[in-house]
Structure 1
Amino acid sequence: MTSETLIDHTVHPEASEGARLLKCGEIAESEKVVRLGIAPAPVCTGRKPLCISTFLSKKTRYFIEFSMTNNNVHVVQIYVFTRVMILSMFLYGLLTFGFDVLPATLPLFIGFSLWVWLEQKDMARDASTKLPLRFHAQRQAMLLSRTLSNRPIPKRPSPIGTDKSMFMLVLAYLLLGSSGTLLLGFLDGQFLFMTFENGTSFDENRTFFVILTIEFMVGLIPAYLLIKPWRQYFADKKGVVVSEELLSVPWESVAVEYQSTSLISLTTATNMQFLSFSVPDPKDANNSIAAISLPVHSKEEAFSLYEFIRQYMDEYKDNDGKDSAALADIAVAEPEYNRAGYKRFLQRRWEKNPVSYGLWRVWYWISLRYLSHFMMEYHQDVMPIKVQARADVIAWSSELPKDEWQTSSDALKALNQEVEALYALGHQWESEPVQTLLAKHRQSE
């Protein structure tokens, strides 16, 4: 029996959370997220079609692709540098103080190393299985992937996920680290500046020894409470079979939303905005079975990006397969995140100022710039080859004969004509006449 036969086509999405999909013109607001429905019924919004070229990772004569990964080298450089520095400090403590502070330094080194390893493992898995967002104009369809499993995928515990777990982590480390370090020094006869006389240490320091032992035993309680969810996680993970299914969704069925949410922490307040594409459930069009989002900086950028995709899809056949005006003006940028981009970056630095070039090279070595480019090339160019080489991906992305080209439905074309007529009178998508027309269209469905 192969693993494919074990797959139960039951999806356990994390993003949808049972939220009802919105139709064109509908608004929903909760304590955390403001949602504005733009499609289904992908009508013209009257905005100028625009696209940030770094989003557009591939452009062919029949489909376009948007990358979901962060191409900002500086962000990855900070990520790599901070983790290497923290691991180096822990390792320095181990080598400098050695056996004396082993209970305090070794858990930090092992714990942080495991955290970094799990991060890299997740990034590699996503890069090798998740397909970027594609729009095929000849098919009039959108392609994305969703994760399937034979049973719910357990969520990995986080020691800093809640205030309680963070408190338990700090408490366990303080109790076990301090008591364990002092107990080692007690048994060895010396700890840093404290000396215990051999032969009489236990008799003269019996009370001190008992207190440290009690402290160590108490520290095992929060440590156990932290380990317990991990035991359950690994137990639930056994037997889970995971695969990636590719979903080809008709363009007119895709649910498109502009979403805005605010995140507030102790130090910062961040507003995050997205243009979200959701796949309606065939059994219930109000629910989503998969979703993917593109980050945007404003509502206007979201509308312009949507209009860029809508114009490409709707006008492809009418333009006889030629690029729309907005798409023709965009060239897929040569990636700067890989090692070749690093070499071009150094060449520009040399041409700008050869005098300071050597100092910059030294700084890039210290700040691990080359390692950052290497990691990004591995995750964005090397690992995705596996999923892009899938037979179903290649078949879907292939060119179709001209007589098989799809186009927008007559109902959508008629609705677009009515909306564009209102735009010609000076109205906008948010205007009452346009929203009234969209509401009538929703009721007629």
Structure 2
Amino acid sequence: MKKSRCINSILIMLILFLSACTSDNKNETKPIDKNILTSDWKDIKDNARGTKVNFFMWGGDEGINKYIDEWVAPRLKEKYNVELKRYPMDATEFINKLMTEKKANKTSGEMDVLWVNGENFKIAKQQGLLLGPFTEKLPNFQNYVDTESDDIKYDFGFPIEGYEAPWGKVQFVFAYDSSKMTNPPKSISELKDWVKKNPGKFTYPAPPDFTGSAFVRHVLHDQTENYKAFLNDYDEALIDNEDDKVWKVLNEMKPYLWREGKSYPQSIAQLEQLYKNGEVWMTMGYDEANASNLIKSGEFPDTTRTFVFDKGTLANSHFLAIPYNAPNANGALVLIDYLLSPEAQLKKMDLEYWGETMSLSVDKLSDEDKKVMESIDRGQATLSQDELSNHRIPEIGAEYVQWLERGWIENVGKK
């Protein structure tokens, strides 16, 4: 009897051991099939059916989250039988996560689609963290995107080469309270004069905050006569000829800023709070419809309006990419293609969700879709598409952005 119990115990231990091994093997899923980049679109859609796709993206905007969870997810399930799960995470975090997985030779991860652009995309592409050139597989990319546009071919001056797909376009605008100022400045020079006449009513976030860094880039654009050179490869000599002009303008403004420039907001959220409180009369940001959204929610006064400089304001596209070890690359491709459909892009322009400019070429839309676009109410503070389009200026290379951020800290922030 004892011998029987002993044998049973051994058998149970053996079964548990084998189960653990089997479980481990299940966790070590097969590496991604690189042949997916040469697969037919029909096969990709068929293979995506019944799967779940994990979308890792910044989650700090309720409207954007609502758009994904309440509008995109149910339609993706209905049209393609693909379940969508959104995971809020900052881009730097998931890039670091991918780098760790790459170093550990992890061939199957957790992330299928990433919302990324700029320096994070550059790092991911250079470090081999992405699947590869996939945009030519997407019917909606081929049918509706202006593939020859520079803001589709380059991401902050870095060549994309099909490794990410454009999800949307944004443009930097300045917002102001029209009950307190009637003629907003149309250049950095006019802004400097306005700040001196209205001390304490203007400031900007301290770089390397994204919004504050973009404001400094506008100063560069205003002061340099060779802005196009900053779109090319990094050149130390170019910096030596231009940087003093930027710091001079910013330091001339500094004593007249909020709190006399002795401290700066640390984020766009803090700047917007100062505007809501009436402490400053202007705010800014890389979202042309943000002011209208905040008027609608009651956070900004109804008298808020936006403007751009006569020479233009910065504009760029943001993108979607697929990790090298995406567990569901088929589902990722289907999701990205749907997000680039006219249906999804037009809904994204609606203030109910996001209010952002679509990444598609208007010229490639059907007449019916153009009518839908023209009927969308983007809010009382949002400039017309024509005015925005006519005042778009491209972003400079990421290395120049880093140079400006470091230079601001040394030449403005510490003084």
Query: TM-score, normalised to structure 2's length?
Result: 0.19
Specify the structure having the higher radius of gyration (Cα): 1
Higher strand share: 1
Scaled by the length of structure 1, the TM-score of the pair is: 0.18
